[in-house]
Amino acid sequence: MFKILGVDHIGVAVSSLSEANNFWTTALGLECTGDEVVAEQKVKTSFNPTGNGSEIELLEATAPDSPIAKYIEKNGGRGGIQHIALRVDDIEAAIADLQAKGIRMIDTKPRYGAGGASIAFVHPKSSFGVLVELCQHK
């Protein structure tokens, strides 16, 4: 068994982190806790805590075949909400439990996520079109 502990973050695809920061940090006043390139996912991320334990994750593509580049292309050149991440207490149990319930997983094993989290994506075909990330912090 596993438990959902809350919304960990909302992943927002942007064409430029520095331009997007004009809104998220300058206008809204969120504090960016740093950028990180996640080479495996071909993204550069920046995390912006909202104050209640949830964060806005801004994602910029680092390669033309990045999932973020594909999302922006599919979305008519605009960014938008690319995924929703739910914090879980035990990611391995979550993957096993969901698979046992017939839920299709993109990741059948946890992989590295920004900030050192263990993450796994649920296939949008099983989550009614929403890309759901499961996320466990150490």
Please report whether residue 68 would count as binding Zn ion according to CB under 5 A.
no
Q: How do 4-13 and 111-112 pair as beta strands?
A: unpaired
- Does the protein bind Zn ion through residue 85 (CB under 5 A)? yes
Strand stretches in 1-138, DSSP E: 4-13, 35-38, 43-49, 55-61, 80-88, 111-112, 118-122, 132-136
Binding characters for Zn ion, 6-45, by CB under 5 A (x = yes): -----x----------------------------------
Does residue number 134 form part of the binding site for Zn ion (CB under 5 A)?
no
From 19-27, 80-88, 93-101, 123-131, give the range in contact with Zn ion by CB under 5 A: 80-88
Alpha carbon distance 117, 135 (integer Å): 6
**Nearest of 42, 52, 48, 57 to residue 11 by alpha carbon:** 57
Decide whether 58 or 98 has the Cβ nearer to Zn ion: 58
Q: How far is the CB of 45 from Zn ion (least distance, A)?
A: 7
